[in-house]
Amino acid sequence: MKARRRFAVAVSVEGRKLLAARVPLVTALLFVAGVTAICTSVTTAVASGSTELVAKLGPLVADGGWTGYLSSATQVIGAAGFLACGVVLSWSFGREFAEGTITGLFALPIGRAMIATAKLLVFLAWAIAVSALSTAAIVLGGLATGLGSPDTGAVESLGRIFVLIVLTALMAVPAAWVATLTRGLLGGIAATIALVASAQILVISGAGAWYPPAAPALWAMSPASVDGAALPVSLLFPLLFAALTLVAWRRLQLDRS
């Protein structure tokens, strides 16, 4: 079997695994519904005069309308997106160890690094689909809240939200590497939580723009606040950890699984 054919088979199998499993589906539904529900609730609360909520989420939320609505959406997605993507990545890579299926992969004619690559590509496809669904749900939520048709600025913000979810998925790739090293799901989830927490701390300290896990959310909220080179440089972060994940899978030893 040629390498291209083997890779196509690996992607197909991993895609079927994801579509047949409940974890990616439930995670996607909870993320899409949860983000939309929170944002509509925040918009309703701000419209009713909740000064405490405005103080927590910032002055943009106080503006109301699509500006406030999408500002709250961006803030929620920055954290919730990381957790959702980290859970799915940890499941994709960690389940092979948790369910004992990793031993069977050693007998396949498809290399383990190729399988890991297929897992990452299928995850990226999942993230793009979730991003599209989330953006559409946010628009519907805004219309249902009575915000009217989105203006040009709102359309641009919606575009950034779509990109933000995809970039957040990329920044969660370390979860795959840690899940592989720890031979299970919990390590990857713990790594995801650590990334979210560290991003929050560095944003508060003012150094978040150059910290890859924080840069996409800061850019989505205010493109002018992020150095033009910070976002492209942040893409090296997922590439590094994707490479580490592939190396880890290539070097897997059966007696350590």
The count of structural domains within the chain is 1
User: pLDDT digits over 43-91, tens only?
Assistant: 777 666 656 655 555 555 556 678 888 888 898 898 899 999 999 999 9
pLDDT at 243 over 70: yes
The per-residue pLDDT for range 208-224, each reduced to its tens digit, is: 788 999 999 989 988 88
Q: What is the pLDDT of residue 257?
A: 43
Report the C-alpha gap between 120 and 172 in whole angstroms: 11
Q: What is the pLDDT of residue 54?
A: 56
pTM value is: 0.91
For the chain, helix (H) and strand (E) counts, in that order, are 13, 0
Q: Average pLDDT of the chain?
A: 88
C-alpha 212, offset from chain centre: 13
End-to-end CA distance of the chain, in Å? 27
Under the banding of pLDDT at 50, 70 and 90, the label for residue 163 is very high
How much of the chain, in percent, has pLDDT values that exceed 90? 58
Taking CA atoms, 88 is separated from 10, 77, 121, 216, 234, in Å, by 18, 16, 13, 20, 21
The boundaries of the domain holding residue 110 are 3-256
Region 127-140: what's the mean pLDDT? Answer: 96
> Which whole number is the average pLDDT over 123-146?
95
